[in-house]
Structure formats: C-alpha cells, structure tokens
C-alpha cells in the first residue's frame, strides 16, 4: 500500500525499470513561443509578446511515452507522422529521450503541431497544423507494426492515446484490444469522441469529466455519486472493465465491477493543464500490473497534481513523484484524527459534495484481520467512514483495569493509516450516543449479531446496518494466547 513508503520507493526505482509499455496513438509536436508582454500593439488591441525562448516538446501519445520514460519504464511508441520538419523534430526528441519509436511516415500528411504563444505564465493564443485522415495503406502498415511489436516485445501493458487525429480508428482500436486480449495484456485508453464502441473490451478507459459528459450526451455535475453512477452505466454499456474519471479539483474516481473509489486532489496553484491526462494514463499503466488499483489512482492523482503546477507540457519523473509522496503521506494519520467540532465542519463539506457518511465505533485495542474486514465492509456502504474510538478511560470502564493494551493515540494512528478510513474521533463516554447525535450519520454500522432496535444511537441515523464479525478473530483471544 502507499503508506509503505519503502516498498513504493523500491517499486519506483527498481521494478518500473523492468516494466515494458507500448504506446499507440496520435503523436503531436508542442511548440512554445515564450516571452514577456510590456505593451499593446498599435495595430490592433492585442498584446505584443517579445519572444525570448522557443521550446519544442513531445505531445499527445508522445508525451504519454515521455511520462512513462520519466517513471523509469521501458517504452515503445507507434504512430503516424508526416514526411515534414515537424515529423523530423518528433523523431529527434524521441531519440533524445531514449524512447524506442516505430513510426509510420505518410506522404502528404502533416504532423500534428500545436503552437502556443505564452506571455509570462498566460497563454495568449494557440494555432494548430494537422491533417486528420489517412489512407488504407497507412492503416495496414500500422497494423503490421503493432502486430510485430506485440509478438516480439511482449509488453506488460498497452496504452491507446486517442486525440481524434485519425490513428485511433475503430479498425485500429479493435485490432489492438482483440490482439492484447489473446495475450492477456491490459489495454488502457485515453478516449476521445462519443463512439466508445471502439474501446469495447478495454481493461481501463480514463476520460475527464467533459469527455464523460460527451459520451452521455449531457453535462455531468461534478459530484461523486453522480459521476460514479454515470461511469458505471457507460462501463457496462461498452463492456469496459474499469473507468477512471479525472475531475479537476475533485480528484479522480475509479469505477470497477465491485467498488467505487474517490481520491481527492490536493489543492495547488495550476499553471497549465496541458498534458495532465497524459500523466494520469501513463502512471496508471505503470502501476496496474504490480500494484492494486487503489494505489494506482492515488499515485496518478498525485502525479497529475505535480505536472499542472508547472508551465507547459511537462512529463512526470520519479524523483518529483517520490518527493511528493513522502510529503503527502508524512502526516496522513494525524490529519484524520480530529476533534468533534472540526469533524463536523469536514462532514458538512463532504455532504455538500453529495457524499454519504458512514459511522461505526469500537475500542480497536489490538488491530487484527477481523477489524480490517469489518471496516472495509462498512466503508463500502457509503462514501466516507468515520470511527468513534473509545478513550483509554472508556476502555477501562468497559474491559477492566488491564485494558487497553495500546493507548488511545496509538490506536487512533493505526486506524488512520488505513486508506479506507476517513476520520477518527476519540470519545470519553461508555457509548457513542452523544457523538452519533452530533454527527447524524447517513449510515450507522454495528458489528456482531445485534438486532437493530438494540443499537445505541440508531434514532440519529438515516439507516442502520449490522455486519457480522469474522469468526475466529477476537482481541481478547489474542491477549489470552500471548499470556499462555
């Protein structure tokens, strides 16, 4: 898991070097004319930019490949370019970044080029050069190159980077997904357009909120429950295993068959969002083979936050990512443990976002597998899980003077380290009745074989659920075994 920083560091520095990823899609060249604005043109009411720097960067599918290389993966990219200067620039940049490339050149095609003029940190104008269509011969050559790469390199995962520039046709996408399915290679898609039938069978599709809205045919409100419900419907309609929705300041939402997970973005100053989607899909493709999906979307969310904080199309690198991970998780436990007044403010924010709050309570003296299973099931009932934790004095009154084994601060920190726990409140009373009254949870959860009319605080919750404990797991039994 992500809070195991040593294993994550080892994965980033060692395991990713062994990972082979094939990127297929629309290749672009990003050109930035950077300068200062000190006056307005006398010819028209427009700013005059005094250019002092010109930068050429890889864009589109090529930027996805650059992100993967920055993470340390072995990367190959396949796509189409024109027989022009921009195409030569793309090949040169790929070589300089040590990215293996197998590009099909098409006579008469113009390599897609996006040119931006930037004054200070403000983008003033962008103009594009492109030719979207390509002929059947180019498509046939592309399929041959893809087939050869899949057979000889045997990649761990494949990315389809669709920018609606012609490469990712129904024919090409279907060919990739079917070929990879036979080899048990996961395909991750950055989509465009409304016809997702061409992505049918993909392991994962990663739209932003606007792209998801386009597929639905109407604007989607950026609320957790609404986004997850729409994504689930679209996932089933087009036979896609997982959908990951990037939602700007609201973070990322993962929708798969068994669960929905929301990961909130860290607030930061945004300089440029161009390329953020490329960073997300590259990071997901790098992590889905060796890490769980929950960890994958968390890391992707963090990586995207890093690149939007820098001007221009910037790729992620493992040094920046590790630094941010260490900063992000350094005090994660303490951030979840709150006083009641502060927790009520946080709950209000969650509810404003349409999120359901789940509450449960206990002593959790020696955290064991039974507790973990119970809390995971509780969290799955809603969007946020809050735990009311009995104080040391409360535990002594309930369990006897020899308890608790672990003090309340240690118990709280252990619970806070669980990623599916969103908040902990330590309470002094024997029962959490007053705490439940103040919180008014959407769902009150109790473990064991209680009858609902026996559960304390049930009158203050919208719904009450009872989750049986796993047999064979008990703190008392653990203590007795230790004492034998």
Domain boundaries, the chain: 14-317, 333-483
Q: Do domains 14-317 and 333-483 have the same CATH topology?
A: no
Compare 201 and 484 and report the one with higher pLDDT. Answer: 201
Active site residues: 278
pLDDT at 138: 85
Query: pLDDT band for position 293 (50/70/90)?
Result: confident
Would you say 112 and 130 are in contact if contact means Cβ atoms under 8 Å apart?
yes
| 274 pLDDT higher than 90 | no
Q: Which CATH number does 14-317 carry?
A: 3.40.1190.20
User: Residue 93 half-sphere exposure, CB side, CA atoms within 13 Å?
Assistant: 21
pLDDT at 428: 94
Cβ density class 455-467: b for 16+ within 10 Å, e for less: bebbebbeebbeb
Task: Identify the sign of the CA torsion 414, 292, 9, 275.
Answer: negative
Which DSSP letter does residue 418 get? Answer: S
Would you say 243 and 280 are in contact if contact means Cβ atoms under 8 Å apart?
no
User: Residue 405 half-sphere exposure, CB side, CA atoms within 13 Å?
Assistant: 11
Query: pLDDT band for position 6 (50/70/90)?
Result: very low
Q: Which two tokens stand for residue 69?
A: 């290389």
Would you say 445 and 426 are in contact if contact means Cβ atoms under 8 Å apart?
no
* Residue 128, C-beta contacts closer than 8 angstroms, at least 6 positions apart: 112, 113, 114, 115
> Is this structure's pTM higher than 0.75?
no
Query: pLDDT band for position 2 (50/70/90)?
Result: very low
Beta strands in 4-73 (DSSP E): 20-25, 27-40, 47-60
The three-class DSSP label of residue 455 is coil
Per-residue pLDDT averaged across 313-336, rounded?
Answer: 69
What are the strands of the beta sheet with 20-25, ordered from one edge?
Answer: 100-106, 74-82, 20-25, 157-161, 187-190, 204-205, 242-246, 252-255, 260-263
Q: Which CATH number does 333-483 carry?
A: 3.40.50.620
């Amino acid at each position: 898991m992500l809070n195991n920083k040593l294993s994550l560091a080892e994965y980033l520095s060692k395991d990713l070097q062994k990972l082979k990823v094939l990127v297929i899609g629309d290749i672009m060249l990003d050109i930035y004319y950077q300068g200062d604005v000190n006056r307005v043109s006398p010819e028209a009411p427009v700013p005059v930019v005094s250019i002092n720097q010109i930068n050429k960067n890889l864009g589109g599918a090529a930027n996805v490949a650059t992100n993967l290389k920055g993470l340390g993966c072995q990367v190959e990219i396949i796509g189409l370019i024109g027989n022009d200067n921009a195409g030569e620039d793309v090949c040169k940049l790929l070589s300089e970044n040590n990215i293996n490339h197998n590009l099909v050149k098409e006579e008469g095609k113009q390599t897609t080029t996006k040119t931006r003029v930037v004054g200070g940190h403000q983008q003033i104008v962008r103009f594009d050069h492109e030719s979207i269509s390509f002929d059947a011969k180019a498509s046939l050559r592309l399929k041959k190159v893809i087939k050869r790469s899949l057979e000889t390199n045997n990649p761990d995962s494949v990315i389809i980077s669709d920018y609606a520039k012609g490469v990712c046709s129904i024919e090409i996408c279907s060919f990739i997904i079917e070929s990879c399915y036979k080899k048990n290679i996961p395909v991750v898609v950055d989509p465009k357009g409304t016809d997702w039938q061409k992505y049918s069978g993909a392991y994962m599709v990663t739209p932003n909120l606007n792209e998801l809205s386009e597929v639905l045919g109407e604007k989607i409100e950026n609320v957790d429950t609404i986004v997850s419900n729409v994504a689930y419907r679209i996932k089933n309609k087009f036979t896609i295993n997982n959908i990951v929705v990037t939602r700007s300041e609201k973070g990322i939402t993962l929708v798969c068959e068994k669960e929905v997970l929301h990961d909130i973005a860290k607030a930061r100053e945004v300089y440029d969002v161009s390329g953020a989607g490329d960073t997300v899909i590259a990071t997901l493709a790098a992590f889905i083979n060796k890490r769980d999906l929950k960890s994958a979307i968390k890391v992707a969310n963090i990586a995207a936050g890093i690149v939007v904080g820098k001007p221009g199309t910037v790729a992620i690198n493992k040094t920046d990512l590790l630094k941010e991970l260490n900063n992000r998780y350094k005090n994660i436990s303490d951030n979840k443990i709150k006083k009641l007044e502060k927790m009520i403010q946080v709950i209000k924010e969650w509810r404003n976002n349409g999120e359901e709050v789940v509450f449960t309570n206990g002593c959790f003296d020696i955290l064991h597998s039974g507790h973990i299973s119970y809390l995971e099931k509780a969290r799955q009932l809603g969007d946020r899980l809050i735990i009311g934790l009995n104080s040391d004095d409360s535990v002594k009154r309930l369990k006897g003077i020899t308890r608790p084994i672990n003090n309340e601060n240690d118990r709280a920190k252990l619970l806070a380290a669980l990623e599916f726990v969103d908040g902990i409140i330590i309470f002094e009373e024997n029962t959490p009745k007053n705490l439940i009254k103040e919180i008014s949870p959407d769902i009150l959860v109790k473990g064991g074989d209680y009858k609902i009319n026996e559960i304390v605080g049930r009158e203050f919750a919208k719904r009450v659920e009872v989750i049986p404990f796993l047999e064979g797991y008990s703190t008392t039994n653990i203590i007795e075994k230790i004492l034998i």
